[in-house]
Amino acid sequence: METINIKQLTAAIRIIADEKNLPEDTVMEVIEQAIAAAWRRDNGERDQIVRSIIDTKSGEATIYVGRRVVEDVENPINEISLEDARKEKKDAQLEDLIEHEEKATSFGRVAAQTAKQVVLQRLREAEREVVSAAYEDKIGTIISGTVQRVEPRVVRIDLGQASGILPQSEQIQDEYYNVGNRLKVLLKEIERGQRGPQLILSRGSEEFVTRLFEQEVPELESGAVEIKGIAREAGRRTKIAVFSSVPGVDPVGTFVGGHGTRVRAVMNEIGEQEKIDILVYNDDPVEYIKGAISPAEVVRVDIQKGDEKRAKVLVEEDQQSIAIGRGGQNVRIASR
């Protein structure tokens, strides 16, 4: 007969806590939940309100079986009338929990398996929670990871302390991911679902390119230059509008870097196939649109009267295909 020996279990708590890098209190709480589940399996009913407290010195678990005080008892397994509750506790009130004690030292095979499943599941959840708390302040920053597994819709990335997912929508178009590849990713968000927190990563977002430039352009942090707008089709083209209010500072030159070193470093990360256009931001929409539609040379820009969001751009015939771009990407990104 397979049983849980509670004394052995409590001795294992410290080892589990160290291995999983979890607080002892968290592991103790998980074990207590498992003991309660095992007791319910061996001695109680499915709907019973059961909790347990372990005495780490004696190795004994005390089980508390509770019933909620209600006006009309519908389920006697977990409910008790006010009249009966006051026989056990004189000052009982509605919604109080009336508990009685049971002792537990070991359990049968089925209960032992139940407890084991609860421990494993709860420890996984607790581990994920601790990990997500460690990454909470890294949201919106770039971190490095290694490709762990490539699946049809997601790529799993090992980040060291945890793993995250790179969904298809956050990948760079036509980028190949091989197991063991090291790459930079943006920690976009932490999604909390039924299976615990999930780290969502991105390489295809505009913010990823912005953060890469922040790593290469120290003048961004000092405020000498700023990014006024960015639009991107990952794997194809990025347009970035930059500005400086400091006299004598060339914002485009600052981003490009001497001999193109800064923009080259960003391109090395996102892939050579993606073009990066850096233009000067301008408050004048006509001049701004001219810059945005580059590398095409613009003859004239007519802002549509009564509609600030529409403009007609005129170019020479030989510039038309450049202005539109392959598959319309240049004009599409410019409009964004």
Percent of residues, the chain, with pLDDT higher than 90: 38
The owner of tokens 């004394």 is: 7
Instruction: Give the CA angle between residues 211, 215, 217 to the nearest 5°.
Output: 105
- H or E element at residue 241: strand 237-243
Tokens representing residue 274 in the block: 């993606």
Spatial contact of 246 and 224, defined as CB atoms under 8 Å apart: yes
The tally of CA atoms less than 13 A away on the side-chain side of residue 260 is 6
Tell me how far apart the alpha carbons of residues 225 and 22 are, in angstroms, rounded to a whole number. 44
Tell me how far apart the alpha carbons of residues 201 and 181 are, in angstroms, rounded to a whole number. 15
Tokens representing residue 207 in the block: 């913010």
pLDDT at residue 1, rounded to an integer: 36
Tell me how far apart the alpha carbons of residues 237 and 333 are, in angstroms, rounded to a whole number. 8
Q: Beta 275-280 vs 237-243: how paired, if at all?
A: parallel
The owner of tokens 């909790």 is: 51
Percent of residues, the chain, with pLDDT higher than 70: 89
First to last CA, the chain: 69
CA 153 to chain CA centroid, Å, is: 17
Comparing 113-117, 154-158, 264-268, the range with the smallest average pLDDT is: 113-117
Tell me how far apart the alpha carbons of residues 98 and 191 are, in angstroms, rounded to a whole number. 38
pLDDT tens, residue by residue, 193-248: 766 678 999 999 999 999 999 999 999 989 999 999 999 999 899 999 999 989 99
Most confident of 21-35, 58-72, 100-114, 166-180: 166-180
More confident residue, 208 or 36: 208
Residues in the chain: 336
Tell me how far apart the alpha carbons of residues 154 and 151 are, in angstroms, rounded to a whole number. 5
Tell me how far apart the alpha carbons of residues 229 and 281 are, in angstroms, rounded to a whole number. 8
Comparing 6-20, 140-154, 161-175, the range with the smallest average pLDDT is: 6-20
Instruction: Give the CA angle between residues 236, 241, 244 to the nearest 5°.
Output: 150
Spatial contact of 209 and 190, defined as CB atoms under 8 Å apart: no
- CB within 8 A of 266, min separation 6: which ones? 209, 212, 213, 216, 276
pLDDT surpassing 70 at residue 11? no
pLDDT at residue 13, rounded to an integer: 67
pLDDT level of residue 137 (50, 70, 90 thresholds): confident
Spatial contact of 279 and 305, defined as CB atoms under 8 Å apart: no
pLDDT tens, residue by residue, 278-298: 999 988 888 888 888 888 888
- Overall pTM surpassing 0.85 (yes/no): no
Comparing 53-67, 134-148, 249-263, the range with the smallest average pLDDT is: 53-67
User: Using a CB cutoff of 8 Å and minimum separation of 24, what contacts does 55-58 make?
Assistant: 56/10, 56/13, 56/28
Q: How many CB atoms are located within 10 Å of the residue 153 CB? A: 9
> What are the start-end ranges of the H helices in the chain?
6-20, 24-43, 82-88, 109-135, 206-216, 218-222, 251-256, 261-270, 285-292, 320-324, 329-335
* DSSP letter (8 states) at residue 223: T
